[in-house]
Structure 1
Amino acid sequence: MGSNEGGGCDGKPVVVVPEIKYTKLFINGEFVDAASGKTFETRDPRTGDVLAHIAEADKADVDLAVEAAREAFEHGKWPRMSGYERSRAMNKLADLMEQHIEELAALDGADAGKLLLLGKIIDIPSAVQMLRYYAGAADKIHGESLRVSGKYQGYTLKEPIGVVGIIIPWNFPSLMFFLKISPALAAGCTVVVKPAEQTPLSALYYAHLAKLAGIPDGVINVVPGFGPTAGAAIASHMDVDSVAFTGSGEVGRLIMEASARSNLKTVSLELGGKSPLIIFDDADVDMAVELSRLAIFFNKGEVCVAGSRVYVQEGIYDEFVKRAVVAAQNWKVGDPFDVATNMGPQVDKEQFERVLRYIEHGKSEGATLLTGGKPASDKGYYIEPTIFADVKGGHEDRSR
């Protein structure tokens, strides 16, 4: 364990974070420095302090990672293993994740401000379950025999597409990592993963565990870096056959454009959205309040489908609003390593400042601030749970 202590919004330390063991790029089964020698900082959102300096990948490093992935795909063992053999290696990786669950949850807690308890009971177990699900599918990828006209028969054969570029967001670092790599590995593909620059630590740790699990060198490559450099290099690379991305619509468009300009690689985009809650007069008000609180404040609102708008029928509107304000005020903001905490800090200073700007926009556009609306601490990226009322349909939705 390391010596860095985190603090809640009251400034009191709660728990030490794990030692940061892996900070370099993972290419062809080895941890290596960036070709440029550059690094960037990843910070603890609880305090704003630097957690580690991470090797910063750019185009030259992506080229090396893609070369390793291509070699592993064209000439390596992974695509030529039986589905059963791939399944065994994937399940071994899942076993190792379960053995290191405390450390993995703590890495995401320190790097992303995620609740340690939920990391141990939701995020990491869900990632394990996802990996085991696709491990179970690895030996069940079948084609079909087809009866066609005349004295002929046809058949389909499903084969791995090749090298897959993966670009993941910061809000669920572990879940997103395995949501993307698991089906690719099951099919026999090789991958180059760019984790979000805010949350690279768990992805690098998973690369280490994959090597321990016996997944061959070059099959999984992890290149932390920034979107305009490392991300753009993946999206435009002529030797990447497919790109999977979760993030903003703006970046999704750039990835599609890069694919069209290069080799017309297949693109899988999950661009999120906003999900309104609609509550009618016959609803159980207490249940509706609790669901609406979870919908927006779970994971500090850093969810693609966060329930950022609530429409309440007028018969229960006043009662709902009164109870929702109390519920928000009782939602404890604090150190994510404290089991009593409901909501940790925003992932980084940029998101912290962005949320505060949204709040100021709400005030300036005439909405009524009912509760919250300001930082919850003078250190770290904590914000009070915030509710506006009297929001008009013409108000600009700046929350995307």
Structure 2
Amino acid sequence: MDEQPQVSPADDEALYLTQRLSAGEGGSPTPVSELELPSPEFDPVAMASAAASATGKEVVPSPQQIKKLRRNERDRKRSSAKKPDSHEGKPLWTPKSPESRSPSPSPSEGAAASSSQYPSASTPVTRDDYVQLAGEIESFRRQNAVMRQQLATRGLFSNSLRYGLLDFSPRASPVDRALPFAPLTQEEALACVQQTLQCIHKARLLYASDKRFLDRPTFLGWRQYAERQGSTATFAVKKALANASPQQLMDRTWRLQTDSEQLNRLGPARLRTHISQLQEVSQDLRIIDRRTDDQAHTGGGDKTPALRTVYLLLRVAHDDGSQMLGIKTLDLPTVRQRLRDDEVWWDIFYWICVSPEDSKEGGDVRTVTEFGGTNACASEEVASSRLEELVFLAIRWETLVVAPCLLKH
């Protein structure tokens, strides 16, 4: 039996290429770019038979050659799987351009982009665009500097005007144009004090006694008694306050009654009160001129006349530790005759009594506070409204006078 010729690996590759090149029509060689690689089911034995038919010799590969051919085919498959398809002349994946990835703009967006005077992000910025943008930035900076200078000038003018007005005396309020008042002598002042104290003593016996406060309504601890006879309103409220001594309450109440700003906080918001001291007889006795305007009716056709009064303001301390403050209008016929057309005379009578409450030894300090008075109002409606605001008046007094004392504890 004849020995079969052995084919080397190089001859095997040469036979394969010869077979592919000689397969072209007319004997012309086929370009390498048009060659087709073997299919994944390529058989090494069939490849050897094809090479034998091409050379005219019968070649039978040995097992080693078949093994080598299969290994080469396996490597060829791996290489083709890792690399792009070079036989087709184009890569397996082609990246898309930004234009193809971005969605097509809507007609409105396209019109806005075309009308914009600045280039978009996708448009390259030219030198002219840069010069235009730099010029506009510089223009904005100049405008900002001009506005900053204008604001500085305006602020300087406002401050100069404000400080210049301080050289002028403030406009006199209606109460500053005081009524003609002849100062009281020492004897006249003492007589007024005796009359006021007698009125307070009678009032406490009549409508501020404990019997009057039995079965009376209570609001936030305040027990109240009130009655109206025509246009005259009489009232009294009472409450025991903790952690406040009579001296503390009287000191703050006195400051409240001698300060216009503090006194306005005591009454309703629509009432504006101006007070002016006409005479200071002593440290605890003063004559006050008072005018109260109703801001709710200012400027209207039915303007409410202002309430004008001149009253005695006094405070007295007793041996039992209690203290009393009294307010009573003085009977001055000459003053009433000098009222203006938009003013009416107002008779008032108020009193506040603060006395220590009997408490157990070591207990908290408690002060019994009584607030009462009589108002001769212009009409019954005004008297009724004053009584309706009575409890709120007491609550506002408690806020202004008692609250600061509680904050110290």
Asked if Structure 1 and Structure 2 have the same fold, meaning a TM-score greater than 0.5 normalized by the shorter chain, the answer is no
Normalised-by-shorter TM-score class: under 0.3
From the CA coordinates, give the structure whose radius of gyration is larger: 2
Which protein has the bigger strand share?
Answer: 2
Normalising by structure 1, we get a TM-score of: 0.20
